[in-house]
Homo-oligomer: A and B are copies of this chain.
């Protein structure tokens, strides 16, 4: 071969290789909003262990399931979780449609606007409000109501839509897990139909991957013979405590390899996940940052928002059971995308 020719062919082949090769990008930090520490290291070690082919803790892609509590784990739940605000905001429309409710408790108290009295409503009162505001309409009408509310309602402290109050570090964990073949699920005590309305846009989690407290529906036809579903005041799944594991079985059918929660309502999901064989990651978000977010629960001795019980026991179970505690104050460099 003529020398010059050989050089040219070599150069051309180098070009071919350059164009054909998939560039391996500089290893970038998948969790930039996390400070270096045990929590961040545990997440990265877990993902490496379960995705390393041939490794002793390798998990096949179909079994890569990760579940996340929502309120207090993915977004702010303090001082009250957003679905309760939706319920209270819906009461005037319900009373307008049924004026006889105006003089009946607990509607009367809600309509009074007396915050102290509203804060004292019992669980029974809240159930009555939930039935009146979340059932008795078509699924389509309900979804439209939630959509309207979620785009307009704002958190009073940050003056931002609730969907912007998601924790950036947890969004990064979800994306990192998905990029490594994990299916990410929300497993929430909140209403399944409620959370599904915004979960796809807010977290990139489609409706079929939202497991939540769910009511029955009934199939029927409108006056034009068009089929539709009505939301019934009958509980199918109470997705709290042991109900979270029952919901995971009902809707997913596999034990998660990773689970994230923050209150006693998540205890069973975290212990069930950790009880599986192989690498399992159970993480507990500790609200210990009164300045940037809130401090409550095990970090402070103040009651949990959702369960109303002190949860030192949960913290103790976490440390004894090999769960990883996430300190919002220590482990999170940034909490919200809009704030440093």
Main secondary structure of the interface of A (DSSP, over half): helix
Chain B residues, Cβ within 8 Å of A226: 275
Chain B residues, Cβ within 8 Å of A253: 192-193, 196, 206-208, 210
Does A42 belong to the interface (CB within 8 Å)?
no
Q: How far is the CB of A271 from chain B (nearest CB, A)?
A: 6
Size category of the A interface is 35 or more
Instruction: State the copy count for this chain.
Output: 2
A192 CA / B243 CA spacing, docked (Å): 18
Chain B residues, Cβ within 8 Å of A241: 219
Q: Mark A1-29, 1 if CB is under 8 A from B, else 0.
A: 00001001101110110011000000000
Task: Check A219/B16 contact, CB under 8 A, given A5-B8, A227-B275, A245-B229.
Answer: no
A residues at B contact (CB < 8 Å): 5, 8-9, 11-13, 15-16, 19-20, 62, 139, 183, 192-193, 196, 200, 206-208, 210, 214, 216-220, 226-227, 229, 236-237, 241-243, 245-246, 249-254, 268, 271-272, 275
List 24 interface pairs A-B (beta carbons < 8 Å), by A numbering: A5-B8, A8-B8, A8-B9, A9-B12, A12-B16, A16-B16, A16-B20, A19-B19, A62-B200, A62-B206, A183-B208, A192-B253, A206-B253, A207-B252, A208-B253, A208-B254, A217-B246, A218-B242, A219-B245, A219-B246, A220-B242, A227-B245, A229-B245, A251-B251
